[in-house]
Amino acid sequence: MIVVYHLNSKISAIVTEDNRSVAFDSKGTIADGLQVLAQQFPDEKIVWCKASAKAELNLEAIPALLHHNKIMVSYAASDYNFLDSRIGYVEESLFIKANKKECYPTWQMSSLVGGVHASVLIAVQDKIVREADFDYYLNSMAKLAMPLGLLCYSEPQLLKQLQTIETPQATIHTLFRFVKQHYKTRWIFLLFLNLMLHERSFPVLPLISSFFYKTRKKHTINLAGIIVESTRKVIGTGAIDVIIPTIGRANYLYDVLIDFSKQTVLPHKIIIVEQNPEPLSKSELHYIVEEKWPFIIQHFFIHQSGACNARNLALDQTESEWVFLADDDNRFEPNLLEDIFNTIKKYGIRVVTTSYPQKNEVKQFLNIVQWSTFGAGNSIVKRELLKKVRFNMALEFGYGEDSDFGMQLRNKGNDVLYLPYPEILHLKAPLGGFRTKPVLEWHQHNIQPKPSPTVMLYILLNNTKEQLLGYKTILFFKYYQYQKIKNPYRYFIQFEKQWKKSIFWANHLKTRP
């Protein structure tokens, strides 16, 4: 481990893990110094720390935090990040509102304290300008490399004690520059529009100055050569339970059970929650008892429909070290569970979501990356993490219950990785014949909420104020072409009424027991 201490945009000292000093160029940028060290010590972890935070640097924790070579961690010990909350006008993702109390996935890095393996620095050495603004350099590196498989985290364990320490913050000019260099060009105009609409600000000069910077999205960074072999031990017995909610798909579910019966790593138990809202109905799953299966099948037949309720019921019955959240219209190969466990071991991760394509769908993501959602029908989670999370019943029959479940896991310090391979084929089977479209409370009112109150509830629970307002701006323009009112002023009045209704019903859902 090599530790770089810096002060006033320059390196002030470099020491090894056993406290030996390393020579450095005091005139170069901090980013330059990191690259020199990466070349000099290609197998080492490179740590940076502001000189004023030296006493709080938790060096003992770093080997466990950087438990494989494709991890980058940092921590801003303040209420804000280098790029302030206005970045939310541009990006809707969950990587913006980081939970500072837990390890949380985000590309928003800080110069205060952090670390990365030398091999990552070598991979980006000629791809990112090593400028004087160290915070800009770190954020640029994480923003570009995260979609390619670099796992980036805000990590409070980097400090011995959590206390407020002032950190640099970007100017409005730097914000516009960052957006221009790391997003599509249209986003600088949307940023300007949102600032004008929601903050009564008119940053004309920052907008114009951003055009003098070239995009960095056309990079050729390659992280494929970095070896990943985690030192973190997350698999003990390797036993796994499967939960499957089902409604009116007996034939499809049978095929799922056959696929599980052929696994090279067999499930310990499969928990099936069959739903049929008809009071006098009976189970259709006769094959559960009529045929022999190489695992325990625990079957519940209930008259209450709803995937959130069914999954929560099943979660309460799990016993094994791992839990597979599956669906009743999946198909997969016999090596699915074995291959997933191999990747879990390799990355030392406790939550994974697999590729979930439909037939003939072209796969868009080919790298193992930090995922921006969560799949309730194609994910494996360590069971100990499920003790304090549940599917939110306020989102029943709506949208976003799986994404919300993933956010609950993240906010408790558990990242979700996407695995491009192995994949699970999602058949998108037809709905069961006895399903009825639920009548929700707001359906009977003249002014229908826009967006759906369940979508709004997810945003209110998990996004920043700026992300909410940025979403509103985009929705306003997108929705215009699909509705009947073509007079812009009348449309604006109607849209405002629908937006307020959505917030009203979302807050109603949030407080409902």
Q: In degrees rounded to 5, what are phi and psi of residue 50?
A: -65, 135
Closest C-alpha among 379, 354, 383 to residue 369: 354
Q: How is residue 354 written in tokens?
A: 């697999």
Whole-number Å distance between alpha carbons of 233 and 235: 6
- Contact call for residues 93 and 100 (beta carbons, < 8 A): no
Given a cut of 70, the residues of the chain with pLDDT beneath it are 432-437, 513
Give pLDDT, residue 198.
95
Residues 6+ apart with CB under 8 A from 332: 259, 422, 423, 424, 425
User: Which listed CATH number (2.60.98, 3.30.420, 1.10.3470, 3.90.550) goes with 2-172?
Assistant: 3.90.550
Domains 2-172 and 240-426 share a fold: yes
Give pLDDT, residue 424.
97
- Contact call for residues 150 and 72 (beta carbons, < 8 A): yes
Note the pLDDT tens digit of each residue in 289-315. Answer: 999 999 999 999 999 999 999 999 999
Give pLDDT, residue 436.
60
The full set of domain ranges for the chain reads 2-172, 240-426, 441-511
Q: What is the largest CA-CA distance in the chain?
A: 81
Classify residue 30 as exposed, middle or buried by CB count within 10 Å of its CB (0-12, 13-18, 19+). Answer: buried
User: Which listed CATH number (3.40.50.1370, 3.90.550.10, 2.60.120.10, 1.10.10.10) goes with 240-426?
Assistant: 3.90.550.10
- Contact call for residues 457 and 506 (beta carbons, < 8 A): yes
Question: Looking at this protein, which amino acid is placed at residue 156?
Answer: P
Give pLDDT, residue 399.
82
Note the pLDDT tens digit of each residue in 120-148. Answer: 999 999 889 999 999 999 999 999 999 99
Whole-number Å distance between alpha carbons of 317 and 390: 13
Q: How is residue 512 written in tokens?
A: 């409902």
Q: List the Cα angle 86/87/90 in 5-degree steps.
A: 115
Detail the DSSP E strand segments found in 45-154.
Answer: 45-50, 71-75, 104-105, 113-117, 151-154
pTM above the 0.75 mark?
yes
Taking the C-alpha atoms of 305, 310, 311 and 312 in order, what is their torsion angle to the nearest 10 degrees?
120
